[in-house]
Structure formats: C-alpha cells, structure tokens
Structure 1
Amino acid sequence: MCRTARDDRATTPRRPHLPLRPLWLCRVCAGPWPCPVARLGLRREYAHDRIALSIYLCTVLHDAAADLYRLNPHDGPDPAALYVRFLGWAALPEP
C-alpha cells in the first residue's frame, strides 16, 4: 500500500517575526526583537537598499527606547545595548 504524506510545511504560511510592543519581544519566538529570523527577513527585504534598512532600524530604535523607558523609567534601557540590538548587526557585511 502506497501512502503519500503531505508536507504541511509547504502549505502552512509562516508567521512573520514582528515586534510585540511595548516590550519589543518577537511575537513568534519571544526573543528580543529583532530576533535572528527577523534580521534575516529584514536583510532579505532591504537587500538592495541598505540605507533604507538603516533608516528603518533607526526609527524602530527610537520607538523602542521610548517604549522601554516608559515601562521602566528607573532602570531605563542601556543606549549601547539598544544600538547593538537594533543597528549594530545591520552594519556588518553579509555572511
């Protein structure tokens, strides 16, 4: 008897790794956004316009800093850590 297994991965749409605001965690994997999957997606989306990627990331960095500070004004977010998280990876050459 021959059974054909259906590969659900091919037909199931993948959920985008978007930020959950104001926590700035990934909605799918719960890691700090942009998570590795989101970074790959952003690199792919902005492959031909790295300047636009930097501008977008500066915008979300600004929003994240404001949101995270509002959540915890006494121990506000570390600016250097936010830079590395949101912009530092984008400046590196692609692997």
Structure 2
Amino acid sequence: MARPDLGVARPDPAAGRPVTARVVAVVGRVGHVAWRPSWRCRACRRPWPCEPARAELMASFDRIGRCMYVAELAAEAARDLPGLTPAQTYARFIAWARRREPA
C-alpha cells in the first residue's frame, strides 16, 4: 500500500532498515524532501532530487556517503516508479551525486 505521507526526511521505523543518526540529522535539515510514492519534491513539486535538494545533499555528505545514500533512494524509487528505466534512474539519482566537491 502506498504511503504518500512518508517522506525521505522521516524514515519508516517499521521498514526494518537501520538508519544512522548522521543520516537522520542531515536529512532532517534538508528542506526539499521527496514526496513518496511520486518522488516529487514536497517544497517545489519538481522531480526529486531537485536542484535545491542536490545542493543541500552536496553540502551535507562527502562524495562516498552521498553516493551510498542516493543509491539506496534510487532503489526505493525504482520500486515506486516502475516506468522509470535504469538509465533514467541513474541520471536522476546517482550521476549528479558522483561529482566531486569544489576544492
């Protein structure tokens, strides 16, 4: 059953997945969070991760942590959005996260 009120900022404790305190602290500060199961931004309604969410995540995680975090979300989005191809999922969730931080 779809849960449209469940956002990325509030992980479901019943899901059985461990959530680190760091992820909860970081994601709790992100204003642009995903509205599931549509994966649109709650703040601006654009496909998530929108540019403001990407900027906030770039600033909040190092490259490896960011890639691990968005890869998990990409897998969840693929289940919620069956029409999304693997290439579209990669481009939307992972490709931008691989960029290195500015020096």
Q: Same fold (TM over 0.5)?
A: yes
Partner of 2:91: 84
- Please state how far the C-alpha of 1:52 moved relative to its aligned partner: 1.1
Letter of the 1:40 counterpart: A
SS of equivalent to 2:57: helix
Stretches of structure 2 lacking an aligned partner (at least 5 in a row) = 1-28
Partner of 1:54: 67
Structure ID, larger Rg: 1
Among 31, 37, 42, the alignment partner of 1:22 is 37
Letter of the 2:80 counterpart: D
TM-score of the two chains, using structure 1 as the length reference: 0.72
Q: In 2, are the aligned partners of 1:19 and 1:26 still within 8 Å (CA)?
A: yes
Superposed CA RMSD in Å reads 1.7
Stretches of structure 1 lacking an aligned partner (at least 5 in a row) = 1-13, 70-75
Identity %: 45
Q: Which runs of 4+ in 1 moved over 3 A?
A: none
